[in-house]
Amino acid sequence: MNDIGLVQTDIQNKTSKEVFLRLQEAIVEGTLEPGSRLPSERRLAEMLNISRTSVREGLRVLDAMGLIEARTGSGKRAGTFILERPGSALSDLLRLNVALMHFTLDEVANLRVSLEVAALGSASQQPNDKLIDELGSLVTKMEHETSRASFADLDAEFHLKLSQLSENRLTSYLINVCHGLILEQMRRGFNNVRDWTVTRKKFAREHCAILDAVKIGDIVAAISLIKAHLDDPYH
Ligand SMILES: [Zn+2]
């Protein structure tokens, strides 16, 4: 690429980044609400005082990040919308970073422990009854589940639900992202356990003890139990 090409690319990157940042700002400020339709490319170009090509480029970045979606159709249902539930962009990005060895699975696993402890640390002492019932039924299922693969799924679901005790939804979201990355490793770990019956009973007991501590509002005990539970090399 010649010098002019490089300069043009640089300008293009700056303007598309500008579109991305301006749109992000508008979402944070509430000017553009989740679920709402974005103005047309022409209108956005006028609003941001940049070319329509740059607008398109910025929208492509948002689209790749799973933050917006183009919908076909007619009338008000057609156009580009800001997604209320963003896609899997963050987990995809982290997965790519793990694949490229920018982050190791051990780092993800360590982050998961910190996040799960943080989630319990900010849990209410009077937990939501519905959540407690759902956790209870997961514990019961795990007590009877003999398949390693199904146990791993139930186990991940238990931890994810447990994280919902935190009133910070971002903590729970990030735990979900970490689980997505380490689930395969956890399944392999379960497959390598020699005496599966003993181990699965131990895990089921540990989940039950964590839940019991949460039920009586003993968060300190719940944190110490979850740390010990996640310290298991097969978990
Ligand atoms: Zn577990």
φ, ψ dihedrals at 81, nearest 5°: -115, 150
Instruction: Give the pLDDT confidence of 132-167 residue by residue, as tens digits.
Output: 999 999 999 999 999 999 999 999 999 999 999 987
Chain centroid to Cα 124, Å, comes to 22
Contact of 186 with 158, CB cutoff 8 Å: no
Q: For position 64, what pLDDT does the model report?
A: 75
Q: For position 112, what pLDDT does the model report?
A: 93
For ligand 1, the distance from its centroid to the CA atom of residue 131, given in whole angstroms, is 17
For ligand 1, the distance from its centroid to the CA atom of residue 210, given in whole angstroms, is 10
Q: For position 12, what pLDDT does the model report?
A: 53
For ligand 1, the distance from its centroid to the CA atom of residue 56, given in whole angstroms, is 45
Find the Cα–Cα–Cα–Cα dihedral 118, 124, 126, 128, rounded to 10°. -80
Contact of 159 with 116, CB cutoff 8 Å: yes
For ligand 1, the distance from its centroid to the CA atom of residue 42, given in whole angstroms, is 51
For ligand 1, the distance from its centroid to the CA atom of residue 125, given in whole angstroms, is 21
Instruction: Give the pLDDT confidence of 166-200 residue by residue, as tens digits.
Output: 878 888 888 888 888 888 888 888 898 899 999 99
Which residues in the chain show pLDDT less than 50? 1-11
CA angle 178, 185, 153 (to 5 degrees): 70
Cα dihedral sign, 109-163-184-100: negative
pTM surpassing 0.75?
A: no
Q: For position 21, what pLDDT does the model report?
A: 79
For ligand 1, the distance from its centroid to the CA atom of residue 153, given in whole angstroms, is 10
Q: For position 89, what pLDDT does the model report?
A: 65
SS3 81: strand
φ, ψ dihedrals at 60, nearest 5°: -65, -35
Q: For position 1, what pLDDT does the model report?
A: 40
Contact of 113 with 230, CB cutoff 8 Å: yes
The DSSP secondary-structure symbol of 78 reads S
